[in-house]
Amino acid sequence: MTHRITVHEVLIAVFQVRTFTAAQGPELAVLLWQRAREPEEGSWSLPGGVLATDEDLSTSARRQLAEKVDVRTVAHLEQLSIFSDPDRVPGDRRIASNFLGLVPISSDPTLPVDTAWHPVARLPATSFDHGTVVRHARTRLVAKLSYTNIAFALAPVEFAMSTLREIYAAALGYQVDATNLQRVLARRKVLEATGRTSPSGKAGGRPPALYRFADASLRVTDEFAALRPPGQA
């Protein structure tokens, strides 16, 4: 155990809201690729790989991700925690920096043959600790949906509130009310009305107004739950 090598790797949990079964409606999905060789042949892994000498973590994440998906479709990428257990993988010691990546519902990038989207609620057998990493990333995403504008990276450029409601419901894992969603996001100035409407669907119904996100980068919108600075009641 003495002259063991330590390498630093990056693992990216890329999420997108996708429809798998028409009955169930859209679900949160994660991008995985299937290992063709040992170790853990056949199991599903997160995109990622070893950090190069002269790149920082997010540069590396983008480079590794490019092998599996067109990175231009990744609307948001941020570093989460680190998995540093010396025995988390066999062989050389690998310290993993875990990233969260988000792809808007409107894009459908072409994938390599070994790569596919999987619903996070029904993960296949995953490699090493990657299942834990995915669940952790999902937990962080759910939390951030409640106090940031992070949904901008899951939504199309313009959208009806009913679409946004479906996106939130899929990502959170429970139903949300489109009315209240609209009001919460409007109050925080996360959402803007475009002033335009979309044609109504085949079953009729009032044509929905179109909205867009005010910002295209992460913003904390509810900084202090309690103990605010004086005068900011």
Partner DNA sequence: ACAAAAGTGTTCGTGCTACACCCATGG
Partner DNA sequence: CCATGGGTGTAGCACGAACACTTTTGT
Rounded to whole angstroms, the Cα distance separating 127 from 10 reads 15
151 binds DNA (CB under 7 A): no
- Min CB(102)–DNA separation in Å: 22
**154-173: contacts with a copy of itself (CB under 8 A):** 168, 172
* Closer of 197 and 217 to DNA (Cβ): 197
What's the rounded Cα separation, in Å, for the pair 48 and 46?
A: 6
Please answer whether residues 49 and 10 qualify as being in contact, where contact means their C-beta atoms are separated by less than 8 angstroms: yes
Residue 66 interface partner, choices DNA, a copy of itself, none, CB cut-off 5-8 Å depending on type: none
DSSP-derived secondary structure for 147-159 = HB-GGGGTS-SSB
Residues 6+ apart with CB under 8 A from 162: 178, 208
- Which x/- pattern over 18-57 shows residues binding a copy of itself (rule: CB under 8 A)? ---------------------------------x-xxxxx
Torsion of CA 131, 14, 161, 174, to 10 degrees: 0
d(CA 6, CA 106): 40
**Residue (11 or 181) nearer to DNA, CB:** 181
By CB under 7 A, tell whether 195 contacts DNA.
Answer: no
What separation in angstroms does the CA of 127 have from each of 43, 44, 53, 100, 159?
5, 6, 26, 18, 37
Nearer to a copy of itself among residue 181 and residue 210 (C-beta): 181
For position 22 contacting DNA by CB under 7 A, the verdict is: no
Q: Per CB under 7 A, does 196 bind DNA?
A: no
According to the binding rule CB under 7 A, does residue 173 interact with DNA? no
Instruction: Tell whether residue 121 is a contact of a copy of itself (CB under 8 A).
Output: no
Helix, strand or coil, per DSSP, at residue 169: helix
Tokens representing 139 are: 């937990």
Of 40-48, 97-105, 108-116, 194-202, the window that binds DNA (rule: CB under 7 A) is 194-202
Considering only 111, 178, 214, 218, the residue that binds DNA (CB under 7 A) is 178
205 touches, from DNA, a copy of itself, none (C-beta below 5 to 8 Å by class): DNA
